[in-house]
Amino acid sequence: MPTQYDDDLVSRYFWKIQVLAVRALEGENVKAEAKTIVAKALEEFDTLSTTNSSNNRSALKHKLKYMASITHSSQPAQKEALEYAASLIPEDPASRNNK
């Protein structure tokens, strides 16, 4: 994980996605909302943060992947939601696309 990133900003979006993942456990399709949250996070990483936006993207992606990796096997919908959100985060801002 990058050493310098905006922890407050990254954590804010991490927890928003965590809430979505819990809703996925209840059977909700959260993909559209995940796209919206990730798009907003990427925008703020590029415009509001005083730290390197690439580091912020990498930190959020790492946290989501890690949380997915430790999610219990009895909660596949939660794991899938976290993995999906992580997959929406490009390493390079120029490579954004609609997944």
The domain ranges of the chain are 7-90
Q: For 57-68, what is the mean pLDDT? A: 96
How many whole angstroms separate alpha carbon 77 and alpha carbon 58?
A: 23
Task: Tell me what the pLDDT averaged over the chain comes to.
Answer: 90
Residue 77 reports pLDDT greater than 80:
yes
CB 82 within 8 A of CB 64: yes
Structure-token match 């985060």, residue found: 89
Q: For 13-26, what is the mean pLDDT? A: 96
CB 13 within 8 A of CB 41: yes
pLDDT tens-digit series, residues 43-56: 999 998 777 899 99
Alpha helices, DSSP H only, in 2-96? 7-25, 31-47, 53-70, 76-87
pTM of the model: 0.87
In the structure encoding, which two tokens stand for residue 32, read together? 């559209």
Residue 92 reports pLDDT greater than 80:
no
Residue 1 confidence class, pLDDT cut points 50, 70, 90: low
Residue 99 reports pLDDT greater than 70:
no
